[in-house]
Structure 1
Amino acid sequence: MPRNLARLRFRAPKQLRPLNIARIHPEDHTTLHRRLRAHALDLSKPQTPLSLQVVVNPKWKQQPGKKPFRMSYKPHTVRDLVDPEAAAKHGQIIYVFANIKTGQVIYSLNELLDQYHLDQLPFLGKHSKPPTVRPDEWTPHCVITFPVAEQGLQAFRKLREFRHLHETSWDKTNPEWVRLTPHQRMRKIMDQVANTSADLAAVLSVQQQQSVEMRKKTIEHEKKSFRLMKTMWAEAEALAKDDRDASNPKWLEQQIRNLEWQLGTKRNRDEADTKRLQDAKKGHEVRLRRVLRARKNMARLKEVEETSEFKKMQEGYASQAAPATGVDVEAKLETLRKELALERDLTKVLDRSQEDAEQTMGAKQAEITQLEDAFIASLRAEARDHPVTRSILPTELKKQPPQPFTMDVEIKWADLRNAEYAAGNWPDPVVHDTLALRSSREDVQLLNPEQYNVTVSDDVQAMLKNLERQALEAQGLYEEPVAEPEPEKTGVWKYIPEVKNPFKRAEA
């Protein structure tokens, strides 16, 4: 099967090379003018293609059984507008496309639509499912950027599930549609533009509530891990510093060799004696492994503690834990959570201003988040959190819990008015912005052929003057042009002060 364009890697656009005229003879003015004009023409071209690619061109694909077709440039897509450095991971950005004729919506993790994306659309009737993806019908609807890829992938899955419910369970949500004709009902079900805004607001609200539970689980996991780390490192330190024979590796190795010799003699053929010797040998081996592991871990820890990286990390933990010093953090967190839950209940029951309620709850939530981060930082500073110190933990505690979701979500709309379909339901921290689909054309100046030729000629003359100046400066013959003095005023004009803008309002 051919791969789609979004998974192919393209070569970077052709970069303009610096002008090199070292090999041109100074008296060869024709070649010099031709080279300067070619350089000016290259500079006048837009760095990015003016057309925004939305749909995959079949000619750009790698066809099976044929030589791969490589493009000389990367197509200009929506990703270049929202993530120009290509730093986002797979799943961190969700691209939403809408059909301008029917209002159908497609969610994609790739910046380009391909034929397989039409599998998301169900068959609702005749002409309800497009046979192919047409570039003149599909346009970017919005782009959602999440802080982490896991949060984006969960939102992508929920959005597709909600849209499937809108398309298949309409008889429960809109019973009046039963009375419509099949064609009218099909057109209403196909139009999912308004539902997309409502679904997106609902998904982000659920993630905002989910983030609270995820933070609680993260705190519990960290508390359990750090307590066990302190206990295990204290035992390892005590075992490594033990000077008795039972903690001496050489003595233990000698005892193991003696027991092996006794097991090999003929006089110890009794089953009870053999079992006793085997148990003693096994106990010494376990003790030897524990002693060697403890000494090795303490040596690694001592080596890490002397590095500047570890010291900087501890200083960072101490500075982050400053808000949690001198207070009972766990009790204060529990009190703040109860106050936040009470505030939410009062907002639902009482007729209060939505803006004031959101501001109050936002301040409470920010305080809770700050205290939780400070509490975790204090635990890390106390347990000297580091990959080396965590290496002593069992396997189930070495794995970090999923990173709590945050509402550092940005939505860029092709038409910002579509966000009003879910007005009042958006989480407060979510940022809404405009998706500048025509940004590549804004900085391009449109000229007719005569104006373009005049502009190129002016650029060539400016480069020639600059080259002449550099040549004279290299020979030490360049002199700065002296500005001509302004003509002296005569008569009454000498006594009238010069005013640049006489119609500007005077200021005190």
Structure 2
Amino acid sequence: MPRNLARLRFRAPKQLRPLNISRIHPEDHSTLHRRLRGHALELSKPQTPLSLQIVVNPKWKQQPGKKPFRMSYKPHTLRDLVDPEAAATHGQIIYVFANVKTGQVIYSLNELLDQYHLEQLPFLGKHSKPPTIRPDEWTPHCAITFPFAEQGLQAFRKLREFRHLHETSWDKTNPEWVRLTPHARMRKIMDQVANTSADIAEVLNIQQRQSVEMRKKAIEQEKKSLRLMKKMWEEAEVLVKDDRDASNPKWLEQQIRNLEWQLGTKRNRDEADIKRLKDAKKGHEVRLRRVLRARKNIEKFNQIRVDPEFIKMQEEYVAQAAPARGTDVEARIDELRKEIALERDLTKTLDRSIEDVEETLGEKEAEIMKLEDAFIASLRADALDHPVTRTILPAEHRKVLPQPFTMDVEIKWADLRNAEYAAGNWPEAIVHDTLDLRSSRQEVEFLNPEQYHGSVSEDVQSMLKSLERQALEAQGLLEEEPAPESNKTGVFKYLPEVKNPFKRADA
């Protein structure tokens, strides 16, 4: 079975080293000139390869029993255009490729296509599934960048599911295709370029609606966790400060030993007595564990209380909670949500366009989000939230929910006109941009041999002049450049030079 080539790591591109001529003798002009000319030739080369690679180089295939061939440079791929700093994680970018002949679409989480990507395409008839990936037939269609990987992976699964429905349930959406010939119907099913734009828009709309529920669940869980954490810390402090024998670990240990001794004597053979002693022993053991855990937690909390990072974190929570200070936040949020629901109902009843009240609804939704964030910050400041203080919570409250989806999504299209297939269905926050596949060629100036050699010679002469100037400055022999001659004529050349005649003179 062939190895997954898309997971192979490329070597970093060769970095251009700075010119070092410290070891060259000043009188050795030929060596200096040769070194400067070589440096000028290196500078004249483009920093990235001119060709954009879509498939993995065949030399990267690892043959059985042979050492794999490694290229000395990283191929120029879509990732260099979409994510030049390589900051995105796996799943954060979805690369969409289209076949220039058939219009078939392939979704990939890697910037390079490989043979296993053809498994996405179904068999619809003769010559419907390409036998291999050909770089002259597949071209980048678009690249979708998500704010984090979980959102991108969910969109990737949904996009593949929607395309599968287009390819297998076409008779429900296009019943007139039944009358077509098998070959014509196959060609229409294979062309998924228009459906791809509609699917991307629908997936983003689903995530936008889903983000509201995800945010609501995350806020509710955070409220419960913070209130429970505050309550548990208060109980722990009360338990540690309790002076009674029931909160003394030594007294509890002595009671447990006494109960164990009583269970081992021959006098207590009655089932009721045995049950009474076992229940009492279990109660003391539970109490002892609670006391020891409370003392350990309080000791840990006293250590972080003086930590500058903890103090800074609490000050940030107090600053973030400023909008929620002095108001009943939960009542205000409920009031705003009722107003939004009433506005939407009136819009449907009066047959008004949603665009007329969209600005007002957006302002109220933004105010709700601001108040929710401020309210959570106030709870965190009140509960002294910190990773250490959260360790007191039970496991079900320490479980982190998925991060709510956001619409900070950017789509780069190879042909921006493809976005018009879903015109009017895109979420407003989505950013559309062009995917310039020829940017590396446009930034390179192509010269004929005579012009190229002439430009290299000019670079060498400029570097020689710069080195001569540096040497004269080091020896203190550099003469000051004469001031430029004045172009004044007539009586004006006898007048003194005034930089700003309108500036007030100093006394």
Normalization by structure 2: what TM-score? 0.91
Q: Partner amino acid for 1:220?
A: E
Q: How has the CA–CA distance of structure 1 residues 350 and 204 changed in structure 2, closer, same or farther, with 3 Å as cutoff?
A: farther
Q: CA deviation at 1:77?
A: 0.9
User: Aligned equivalents of 1:365 and 1:419: distance in 2?
Assistant: 28
User: Aligned equivalents of 2:351 and 2:413: distance in 1?
Assistant: 32
Q: How has the CA–CA distance of structure 1 residues 200 and 359 changed in structure 2, closer, same or farther, with 3 Å as cutoff?
A: farther
* CA deviation profile, 1:406-429 (whole Å, cap 9, x unmatched): 111111111111111111111111
User: Aligned equivalents of 1:174 and 1:95: distance in 2?
Assistant: 28
* 1:25-424 equivalence runs, <5 A: 25-260=25-260, 276-347=276-347, 352-353=352-353, 355-424=355-424
Q: How has the CA–CA distance of structure 1 residues 145 and 350 changed in structure 2, closer, same or farther, with 3 Å as cutoff?
A: farther
* CA deviation profile, 1:111-137 (whole Å, cap 9, x unmatched): 111111111111122222111111111
SS at match of 1:387: coil
Q: Partner amino acid for 1:437?
A: L
Q: CA deviation at 1:142?
A: 0.9
Q: How has the CA–CA distance of structure 1 residues 325 and 492 changed in structure 2, closer, same or farther, with 3 Å as cutoff?
A: closer
Q: CA deviation at 1:215?
A: 1.3
1:95·1:143 contact (CA, 8 Å) conserved in 2? yes
2:106·2:117 contact (CA, 8 Å) conserved in 1? yes
Q: CA deviation at 1:473?
A: 1.9
Q: CA deviation at 1:372?
A: 2.2
* 1:421-436 equivalence runs, <5 A: 421-436=421-436
2:12·2:74 contact (CA, 8 Å) conserved in 1? yes
1:16 alignment counterpart:
16
User: Aligned equivalents of 2:343 and 2:164: distance in 1?
Assistant: 35
1:499 alignment counterpart:
none
User: Aligned equivalents of 2:438 and 2:50: distance in 1?
Assistant: 8
Q: How has the CA–CA distance of structure 1 residues 339 and 69 changed in structure 2, closer, same or farther, with 3 Å as cutoff?
A: farther
1:480 alignment counterpart:
480
Q: CA deviation at 1:486?
A: 4.2
2:502 alignment counterpart:
none
Q: How has the CA–CA distance of structure 1 residues 77 and 342 changed in structure 2, closer, same or farther, with 3 Å as cutoff?
A: farther
* CA deviation profile, 1:353-373 (whole Å, cap 9, x unmatched): 564444343333322222222
SS at match of 1:107: strand
Q: How has the CA–CA distance of structure 1 residues 125 and 291 changed in structure 2, closer, same or farther, with 3 Å as cutoff?
A: same
Residue range with higher mean Cα deviation, 180-189 or 203-212: 180-189
User: Aligned equivalents of 2:445 and 2:52: distance in 1?
Assistant: 18
SS at match of 1:96: strand
User: Aligned equivalents of 1:98 and 1:348: distance in 2?
Assistant: 41
SS at match of 1:24: coil
CA-atom RMSD, angstroms?
2.5
SS at match of 1:140: strand
Q: CA deviation at 1:233?
A: 1.0
Q: CA deviation at 1:462?
A: 1.3
1:321·1:378 contact (CA, 8 Å) conserved in 2? yes
Q: How has the CA–CA distance of structure 1 residues 349 and 127 changed in structure 2, closer, same or farther, with 3 Å as cutoff?
A: farther
* CA deviation profile, 1:26-72 (whole Å, cap 9, x unmatched): 11111111111111111111111111111122222223332122221
1:2·1:64 contact (CA, 8 Å) conserved in 2? no
* CA deviation profile, 1:167-186 (whole Å, cap 9, x unmatched): 11111111111222222222
Q: CA deviation at 1:199?
A: 1.0
* CA deviation profile, 1:378-424 (whole Å, cap 9, x unmatched): 22222222111211111111011111111111111111111111111
User: Aligned equivalents of 1:474 and 1:294: distance in 2?
Assistant: 72
2:124·2:186 contact (CA, 8 Å) conserved in 1? yes
Q: CA deviation at 1:160?
A: 0.9
1:6·1:110 contact (CA, 8 Å) conserved in 2? yes
Q: Partner amino acid for 1:197?
A: S
Structure 1: 5+ residue stretches without partners: 495-508
Q: CA deviation at 1:350?
A: 5.1
User: Aligned equivalents of 2:409 and 2:128: distance in 1?
Assistant: 33
| Aligned residue pairs, count | 495
Q: How has the CA–CA distance of structure 1 residues 139 and 206 changed in structure 2, closer, same or farther, with 3 Å as cutoff?
A: same
1:97·1:107 contact (CA, 8 Å) conserved in 2? yes
Q: CA deviation at 1:273?
A: 5.7
2:60·2:68 contact (CA, 8 Å) conserved in 1? no
User: Aligned equivalents of 1:209 and 1:143: distance in 2?
Assistant: 22
1:143·1:413 contact (CA, 8 Å) conserved in 2? yes
User: Aligned equivalents of 1:438 and 1:7: distance in 2?
Assistant: 26
Residue range with higher mean Cα deviation, 350-359 or 378-387: 350-359
Q: CA deviation at 1:272?
A: 6.0
